[in-house]
Amino acid sequence: MTPYLVVKLAGKPYGVNFQEIEEIQHAKKGTPMPFAEPWHEGMITVRGSLYTVLNIRRMLNLSLLDVPEQDKMILLSRHKVAILAEEFDDTLMVEETDIRENDGEQALDTAVFPTLAASGESMIPLLDIDALLALSKAEA
């Protein structure tokens, strides 16, 4: 079984593998980077380390309506990258047999969300961190 943190982006649930998470904090405003993509929210310093802040909602053109006043951020364990999330919903224990290939039915970028996990009656897209970083060019 693999544990996932269920996060909300544009009000919908997505799974992030717990092994990819170093820490969760309240989001900080980043220092803008010149010539950066619109989903790069800037750079922040956390305990002396520099992190790139990514906004997945913007990257994937998810709705920016009803964005909370204070986002949360997930500091990744293998990269100096923080990803923004609206809220954390739950944890999800996923068996390999509960994971399905994302065939594009959910209108998501299948490169970033290549698989879905069965959770009750719904399917939760699972974030592929390496694909996200390759797409965002933020492999810090």
Coil, strand, or helix at residue 140?
Answer: coil
What pLDDT is attached to residue 48?
A: 93
What pLDDT is attached to residue 116?
A: 92
What pLDDT is attached to residue 52?
A: 93
Q: Each residue of 35-74: pLDDT tens digit?
A: 888 888 899 999 999 999 998 888 877 766 555 567 889 9
Give 137: exposed, middle or buried? Use CB within 10 Å, 0-12, 13-18, 19+. Answer: exposed
Contact 60, 91 (CB under 8 A): no
- Which overall architecture, per CATH, does domain 2-136 show? Beta Barrel (2.40)
Regions of the chain short of the pLDDT cut 50: 139-140
What pLDDT is attached to residue 140?
A: 45
What pLDDT is attached to residue 139?
A: 47
Q: Tell me, yes or no, if the pTM score tops 0.75.
A: yes
Taking phi first (over 0 means left), then psi (-120 to 50 degrees means alpha), and beta for anything else, what does residue 60 get?
A: alpha
What pLDDT is attached to residue 17?
A: 95
What pLDDT is attached to residue 74?
A: 94
Q: Quote the CA–CA distance of 91 and 102 in Å, as a whole number.
A: 20
- Picking from 98, 88, 91, 86, the residue whose alpha carbon sits closest to that of residue 122 is 98
- Any idea where the domains of the chain sit in the sequence? 2-136
DSSP assignment letter at 45: E
